[in-house]
Amino acid sequence: MPLLIMFIAIPIIEIGLFIQVGGWLGLWPTLGIVVLTAVIGTYLLRLQGMAALARLQNSVQAGQSPMDPIVNGALILVAGVLLLTPGFFTDAIGFALLTPPVRAMVIKWGAARFVNSSSVVFTSTTAPQRPRDPGAVDGDFVVLDDDNPATPGNSGWTKPK
């Protein structure tokens, strides 16, 4: 239900803002602002997206949990989609999501909702370690190529022709 309300409310808000800003500034300055915010948003999205990717690579190389860079990268992607969507309201939300303090606040809010959810189940992904078989033998092998593979040998696994 909240998603339906969002899909109805956001376009109504955007239309109202277009009418207000268009009446105040005029048609061409309003369209110029919409295009300018899309260009600036794309530039900022590229900068922050590359920084988020570098943080993700560093955390994986350091053996740390990549969850924080992944979530930040996802929010940066959402911000980019909002900035490319024409409108003043979506641009304001998109620019807000490009700021790290707002992203941290959204992550904290989302984590609290996730943890407090009754449908969350935590499981272990590591399998129990089995004791090593004392009768197992390690060894090396070499593959020998047959000189004439078209004729089957007398290995017991093939039928002689």
Which regions of the chain are under pLDDT 50? none
Which tokens is 142 given? Answer: 């070499």
Dihedral (C-alpha) 112, 98, 27, 13: value to the nearest 10 degrees? 0
Q: DSSP letters of 102-133?
A: HHHHHHHHHHHHHHH-TT------SPPPPPPP
Give the model's pLDDT for residue 3: 86
Give the model's pLDDT for residue 130: 61
Give the model's pLDDT for residue 89: 93
What Rg value do the Cα atoms of the chain yield, rounded? Answer: 29
